[in-house]
Structure 1
Amino acid sequence: MDETGEASYAGQPFEVIVVGGGFAGTAAAINLARANRTVCLIDAGEPRNRNSDHMHGVIGLDGESPRELLSRGHSECLAYGGTLVEGRVSSLQRTAAEGWSVELESGERVTGSQVLVATGITDRLPQVPGLREMWGQRVFHCPYCHGYEVNGKSIGVVGGENPGFTTRISTLLTKWADSVTLHVNGMDLTTEQRDRLLDCGVQLSYDEVVQVSPDPTESLAVEMVTASGAVRYGTCFTGPEFLPNDHLLRQAGCAVADGWVQTAGGKTSEPGLWAVGNVVSSPDQVSQALGSGAGVAIAIDQYLFDRG
């Protein structure tokens, strides 16, 4: 960093700065670089699925490592002329030139005409010992990401943080599982939710879950300890509370509705500031994130082209 506080790699302002090097952000950066835009991709190295060894539903890459695919994506971004910066962004500020200044926690700054925020989401799990340690390995939340792999297994679902989502996945999991048991774990179920669960064949347990541990006899199996004793399941699901990592967007003044930063075609309410992926859409899987990132990249490129 030089005496002005500017990063040595900053040089001239970039046309687009992408904050977040997960699947949506990396796909956007690659497509912008291929459109001959000067692009800086800033990556903190914490994608949402960093605990998972495999990804599913990505055509031609089913079962591959998401970390390896992201690594290849970062290399492709560089190969097309993009710039990759490892670091965490602390703030976004407007510049006098109607662009944006992006400051990293290191104190380095990068400036650009447009900023695309793709900082993802944080999954807050129920406060049950063992869930966090096995997250992405034996504890899951998405039936469409992991349902096929648990065909015919018994599934224990731990409730607690997100009743609507938890009851929904409990019913959906019956499409794959031999049996589904929802440990209510303090959730206040409505009569409609309880009736729907029972109609779908979900068993309800009102014993508090105090510990979830790996069962060494099978790769996905868990032992769930409740107030009444221990139960073994073929695997475990839970419904996290979804917390978008949108503090940068909120601090910049972006409009928010129903707890989410609002976008239209990737545009936020602030000129030159865009958002894509889980930071504004909680259900995005890898394939969806790749597509939405590419789509917003095209929108940004055409916006810059039409602006002249």
Structure 2
Amino acid sequence: MTAHSHRSPAAAGDAQRRYDVAVVGGGAAGLGGALALTRARRSVLVIDSGAPRNAPADGVHVYPGHEGTPPAQLLATARAEVTGYGGEITTGTVVAAGRRGPGGFRLVLDGGAVVEAARLLVTTGLVDELPPVPGLAERWGRDVLHCPYCHGWEVRDTPIGVLATGPLAVHQALLWRQWSEDVTLFRHTAPEFGDEEYEKLAARGVSVVDGEVTGLEVTGDRLTGVRLAGGRTVPRRALATATRLTARADFLDGLGLKPAEQEVGGQVIGTAIPADPTGATAVPGVWAAGNVTSPTEQVVGSAAAGVRAGAAINADLIAEETGRAVAARRAAGAPPAAADTGAGTGAGEF
């Protein structure tokens, strides 16, 4: 079934729009899945809140063919590709999701619009919950950073700070050391490190500063230092920090699908919707892809996960449609189909 309409979802009380697949979330994962599905001639609606996680970043990195592309430009191009194949995109936030009979789902958007779909692909991503240090949020994605593979090159060879938030802090500092010889680990409120950890840091020339971080020093529009509780300021050009990665998935409560805590190296890093390698969740008919199910995935991986999920959803729909066709054929009294040898049909000819 090909989607050519670009109407908005029906408002409450109007005739409800029905789709093969509703994609909740319009980032790289959602648009990757939508592209695979629209090219498979499925009717697809992408519901996007318009608040991408990477909006503050100057560019998308480690994405072959798109290195340094501004996030908004990458999304605009992908949106045009999806609508070019007949997909629909609407701005909105899904506030509730439930079953529609035995074979579909009903979504309610903020504002009251209602959407029905045979399958759901959830690609709503996550929210970065920053440590409660004044000034971090204002500099987030600019010179307060989280991923060295995303931002390390841009701050290479500059004084970099790492704000400790848990057991992974030493690993994080050693990782950032690859991009600069001047790395300082601020222990902040983290527990005391062990002797082996201090030895590793010393061996790599990473200095450790005790004391709680209370704010940032900014000159003009640029980070220049990290301020400690005692009043001391340590000059830094960038500050790396881990965030709590919380899945945007509250609307799935009505389907009994809840995020699970994610742990790395003994530290809970956030929550995610459990899913298998194809993106299938514990709820039949619901797939998930991107950061909502894989919190540490980068943009290129999220796009690939969306495509995999889209292909899996299409295969699932084909299996269901084939089952209905077989049942209808049998109900019509058609005899069992004999094997076709291809004789006289031109089979095998070019």
Q: Does the pair score TM above 0.5?
A: yes
The aligned counterpart of 2:318 is: 305
Give the superposition deviation at 1:188: 1.3
Cα distance between partner residues in 2 of 1:257 and 1:50: 26
Which residue of 26, 34, 58 maps to 2:31? Answer: 26
User: Is the contact made by 1:19 and 1:42 (CA closer than 8 Å) also made in structure 2?
Assistant: yes
Matching of residues 11-160 of structure 1 within 5 Å: 11=17, 13-160=18-165
Cα distance between partner residues in 1 of 2:9 and 2:295: 39
Which residue of 249, 257, 274 maps to 1:262? Answer: 274
Cα distance between partner residues in 2 of 1:67 and 1:2: 24
1:230 maps to 2:233: yes
Give the superposition deviation at 1:174: 0.7
Which residue of 5, 17, 21 maps to 2:12? Answer: 5
Cα distance between partner residues in 2 of 1:62 and 1:2: 35
Give the superposition deviation at 1:255: 6.2
User: Per the alignment, in what secondary structure is the counterpart of residue 107 of structure 1?
Assistant: coil
> In angstroms, what is the RMSD of aligned CA positions?
2.2
Cα distance between partner residues in 2 of 1:278 and 1:57: 16
Deviations 1:196-216 (A, max 9, x none): 434433211112211113344
User: Per the alignment, in what secondary structure is the counterpart of residue 145 of structure 1?
Assistant: helix
The aligned counterpart of 1:207 is: 211
Cα distance between partner residues in 1 of 2:85 and 2:212: 53
Q: Which amino acid in structure 2 is aligned with residue 298 of structure 1?
A: A
Deviations 1:45-70 (A, max 9, x none): 11110111211111122111011111
Aligned pairs, how many?
302
User: Is the contact made by 2:9 and 2:115 (CA closer than 8 Å) also made in structure 1?
Assistant: no
Cα distance between partner residues in 2 of 1:239 and 1:181: 15
1:273 maps to 2:280: no
Cα distance between partner residues in 2 of 1:176 and 1:275: 34
Q: Decide which moves more: 252-261 or 203-212.
A: 252-261
Identify if the C-alpha distance between structure 1 residues 165 and 23 changes in structure 2 by more than 3 Å, giving closer, same or farther: farther
The aligned counterpart of 2:306 is: 293
The aligned counterpart of 2:191 is: 188
Q: Please, which runs of 5 or more residues in structure 1 have no aligned partner?
A: none
Structure number with bigger Rg: 2
Give the superposition deviation at 1:220: 5.8
Give the superposition deviation at 1:7: 5.6
Give the superposition deviation at 1:30: 1.4
User: Per the alignment, in what secondary structure is the counterpart of residue 177 of structure 2?
Assistant: helix
Q: Decide which moves more: 242-251 or 25-34.
A: 242-251
The aligned counterpart of 2:243 is: 240
Identify if the C-alpha distance between structure 1 residues 7 and 158 changes in structure 2 by more than 3 Å, giving closer, same or farther: farther
Q: Which amino acid in structure 2 is aligned with residue 166 of structure 1?
A: A
Q: Decide which moves more: 199-208 or 74-83.
A: 199-208
Give the superposition deviation at 1:97: 4.2
Q: Please, which runs of 5 or more residues in structure 2 have no aligned partner?
A: 1-7, 262-270, 322-350
User: Per the alignment, in what secondary structure is the counterpart of residue 97 of structure 2?
Assistant: strand
User: Is the contact made by 1:171 and 1:200 (CA closer than 8 Å) also made in structure 2?
Assistant: yes
